[in-house]
C-alpha cells in the first residue's frame, strides 16, 4: 500500500471519529477524539497522522486538528 493511499485512509478514519464525536456535548468532543486515537491507534498510525498534520492537515476535520494537541505524538521511527 502506498504512503499516499495510507494517508488517505488515515484521514478518512480520523474524520469518521470526529464525525462521531461531533454529536457529543461540545465540552467532550476534543477529548473524545484524542482519547479514542490514543487508545486504539498504534504508534505507527499516530506517527503518520502527525506527518499529515505537520504538512498542513489537508483533508482533516477541524475537530481532529483541535484534538491533535492531546494526541500522544510517538517517537520518530
Per residue in 5-37, pLDDT (tens digit) is: 789 999 999 999 999 999 999 889 999 999 999
50 within some domain: yes
Which domain covers residue 30, as residue numbers?
Answer: 3-70
53 within some domain: yes
39 within some domain: yes
9 within some domain: yes
75 within some domain: no
User: What per-residue confidence (pLDDT) applies to 3?
Assistant: 67
46 within some domain: yes
76 within some domain: no
User: What per-residue confidence (pLDDT) applies to 30?
Assistant: 97
pTM of structure: 0.91
10-19 CB contacts, 8 Å cutoff, 24+ apart: 10/45, 10/48, 10/49, 10/52, 11/52, 11/58, 11/59, 11/60, 14/49, 14/60, 14/61, 14/64, 15/59, 15/60, 15/61, 15/64, 17/64, 18/61, 18/63, 18/64, 18/67, 19/61
Q: How many domains does the chain have?
A: 1
Amino acid at each position: 500500500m502506498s504512503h499516499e493511499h495510507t494517508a488517505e485512509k488515515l484521514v478518512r478514519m480520523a474524520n469518521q471519529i470526529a464525525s462521531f464525536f461531533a454529536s457529543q456535548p461540545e465540552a467532550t468532543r476534543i477529548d473524545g477524539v484524542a482519547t479514542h486515537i490514543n487508545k486504539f491507534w498504534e504508534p505507527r498510525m499516530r506517527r503518520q497522522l502527525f506527518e499529515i498534520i505537520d504538512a498542513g492537515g489537508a483533508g482533516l476535520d477541524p475537530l481532529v486538528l483541535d484534538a491533535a494537541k492531546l494526541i500522544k505524538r510517538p517517537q520518530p521511527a
